[in-house]
Amino acid sequence: MDNRKSFLKGAFCGALAILLTAGVVSCGLYTKGVSASGGKTVTPDAERKLSILNSLIEESYLGEVDKKELREGLYEGYVGGLGDPYSAYYDAEETKSFMEATEGEYSGIGAVMTQSKDSGIITLTHVYEDSPAMKAGLKDEDILYKVEGKEVTGEDLTEVVSRIRGEKGTKVELTVLRGKKNEEVTVTAVRDKIETQTVQTRMLEGDIGYLAVSEFDSVTYNQYVKGLDALEGQGMKALVVDLRGNPGGNLNIVCDILDIMLPKGLIVYTQDKNGEKREMTSDEENKFTLPMTVLVNGNSASASEIYAGAIQDYGLGKIVGTQTYGKGVVQQIFDLQDGTCVKLTIAEYYTPKGRNINGKGITPDVKVEFELDEKNPEADNQLDRAVEELKKEL
C-alpha cells in the first residue's frame, strides 16, 4: 500500500488529540507563566552513554550533523519518554507559536484543524470568514495532505505548524483532499495577522440566542461577554451555547467565563500528585438566569468539559449531543529561561459535584447523534433538538 492510500485509509478514524488554529497549536487545558528550576536529573550512566553516542556520530555518521538539532531532539525525546500525549517540549520557534496561539493573535492562514490521535490525520474543521485560507479556496472538512509538497500525516503537529506559520505577506502551499472522492487540491495561501475569532453569535427564531465557542484563548473572555451582551440587547429569551469541536484552552479563561454564568459556588477544582487541591469559585456578582442548553460532541474536550460539567452539575441547562472527549487533566507551561518551554500534565480536575471525567467524558442529558442531510448541508439536527428543549421552557 503506497503512502497516499495509507493516508486515506485512516482519514476518518480516531478522535481529536490536538488543535491547530491557523498554523498555531492549542493543547487541551493549561495554565501559564511558571518558571522551571531544579537539580540535576541526568545520571552518570546516561551522560556516559550520550558521550559514546556523540563520538559514534562524529566518527561514523555519513550525513551532516547539526549539533543544535541533536540537543533539541534530546530534550524532546526526554519529555516524550513520559508517554503522555499531553506533555511536550517546545523549542524556541514552537514556544513562540504556542504562546501566540494562547493569546489568540498570530500570523497565519485562519483555519481551525484537528488531528486524529490514532491515525495522525489532520482535518480542517473551520475556515474563518475572509481569511487567507478562505481566499485561497480552502474549505471546511478538507483533509490536510501536504505542506509545501511534503506529506504531513502522522507528523508532530507542532512541526506542521512551523511550516504553515510565517511572516505576514509570505506564501505557503497546501495540498488537501476534498470530498467523498478525496479530490487532491493544491492552493497557495498568503499569510496575514489574525485574531482568532473564538466566539460567534446569532439570533435564532423565537428570540433564542446562539453562541458558539471554538476554543478558550485569552481573547475569548471579552468576545464571549461582548457576544452575550449583544444577544441580550436583541431581546434574547433563551440561549444555546455550542461547544462542539472545542478542544479546550486556558483554565483561567473558562473559569472567568463560568463566573458570569454560575451562581455563587464551586466552578471546578484540581488535585495534583501530592493530593493538594486548588478550588476555582464563582461570586454573587453575575448569574445567567435564562433557559439554556449546551451542545457537545466527541471533540468537545478539557475546558469545554469543565463548562458543560459545571452547567450540568448546577442544573442550569441541558447538555445536548454526544459523549464528550474525556480529558480530565490539566497541563502547566514551564518557562525554561532560554526561549523554550515544556508543557507537563500536573493535575486532574473535578466538576463541582466531584466528578472526574478523564477517559469517560460528559454524558449528555439529551443524546443526539449528528445526521448529515446531503440535500441540505446547512441542516443541523443537534442544534434543532437543543432549540426544541428550550422551547419547552418558554
pLDDT digit string, tens, across residues 147-160: 999 999 888 776 78
- Non-local (6+) Cβ contacts of 24 within 8 A are 97, 98, 100, 101, 106, 108, 161, 165
Q: Which three cell numbers stand for residue 258?
A: 463560568
Q: State which amino acid sits at residue 390.
A: L
CB 292 within 8 A of CB 262: no
Q: What is the pLDDT of residue 109?
A: 93
Reply yes or no on whether the pLDDT at 129 is more than 60.
Answer: yes
Count of C-beta atoms within a 10 Å radius of residue 363: 13
pLDDT in tens, 347-375: 999 999 999 999 999 999 999 999 988 88
pLDDT band at 308 (very low <50, low <70, confident <90, very high): very high
**β partners of residue 239:** 209, 292
Which stretch of 103-107, 132-136, 144-148, 218-222 has the lowest confidence by average pLDDT? 103-107
d(CA 292, CA 243): 13
Q: What is the pLDDT of residue 15?
A: 24
Q: Which three cell numbers stand for residue 315?
A: 442544573
pLDDT band at 115 (very low <50, low <70, confident <90, very high): confident
d(CA 177, CA 207): 39
For residue 292, the Cα-to-chain-centroid distance in whole angstroms is 24
d(CA 63, CA 28): 38
Question: Hey, is 359 helix, strand or coil?
Answer: coil
Instruction: Report CA-CA distances (Å) from 28 to 18, 102, 343.
Output: 7, 11, 11
Reply yes or no on whether the pLDDT at 99 is more than 50.
Answer: yes
d(CA 261, CA 31): 21
CB 255 within 8 A of CB 227: no
pLDDT in tens, 162-183: 789 889 999 999 999 999 899 9
Q: Where are the alpha helices (DSSP H) in 38-183?
A: 44-60, 67-80, 92-103, 132-136, 157-164
d(CA 328, CA 270): 10
Express as a percent the part of the chain with pLDDT over 70: 89
Q: pTM for this structure? A: 0.74
- Non-local (6+) Cβ contacts of 355 within 8 A are 309, 313
Q: Higher pLDDT residue, 389 or 10?
A: 389
Burial label for 134, CB within 10 Å (0-12, 13-18, 19+), is middle
Q: State which amino acid sits at residue 342.
A: V
Q: What is the pLDDT of residue 11?
A: 29
Q: Which of 116, 122, 176 is nearest to 299 (CA)?
A: 116
Q: Look over the chain and give the mean of its residue pLDDT values, rounded to a whole number.
A: 87
Express as a percent the part of the chain with pLDDT over 90: 70
Q: What is the pLDDT of residue 40?
A: 57
Q: Higher pLDDT residue, 18 or 314?
A: 314
d(CA 189, CA 187): 7
Q: What is the pLDDT of residue 21?
A: 29
Which stretch of 31-45, 110-124, 126-140, 333-347 has the lowest confidence by average pLDDT? 31-45
Q: What is the pLDDT of residue 27?
A: 39
d(CA 336, CA 292): 43
The residues carrying an active-site annotation are 302, 313, 327
pLDDT band at 310 (very low <50, low <70, confident <90, very high): very high
Q: What is the pLDDT of residue 14?
A: 24
Q: Which of 358, 355, 354 is nearest to 302 (CA)?
A: 358
H/E stretch holding 6: helix 3-9
DSSP code of 39?
-
Q: State which amino acid sits at residue 384.
A: D
pLDDT band at 266 (very low <50, low <70, confident <90, very high): very high
H/E stretch holding 393: none
- Non-local (6+) Cβ contacts of 3 within 8 A are 151, 153
Q: How is 209-266 classified by DSSP, letter by letter?
A: EEEEES-B-TTHHHHHHHHHHHHHHTT--EEEEE-TT---EEHHHHHHHHHTTS-SEE
Question: Hey, is 80 helix, strand or coil?
Answer: helix
Q: What is the pLDDT of residue 7?
A: 34
pLDDT in tens, 52-73: 999 999 999 999 999 999 999 9
Q: State which amino acid sits at residue 130.
A: D
pLDDT in tens, 17-50: 233 322 223 335 766 655 554 555 678 888 899 9
Decide the pairing of beta strands 238-242 and 292-296: parallel
Q: What is the pLDDT of residue 10?
A: 30
For residue 20, the Cα-to-chain-centroid distance in whole angstroms is 7
At 248, give phi and psi (nearest 5°).
Answer: 120, -140
| Range with top average pLDDT, 80-94, 98-112, 264-278 | 264-278
Q: Which of 358, 360, 363 is nearest to 347 (CA)?
A: 358
pLDDT in tens, 199-232: 999 999 999 999 999 999 989 999 999 999 999 9
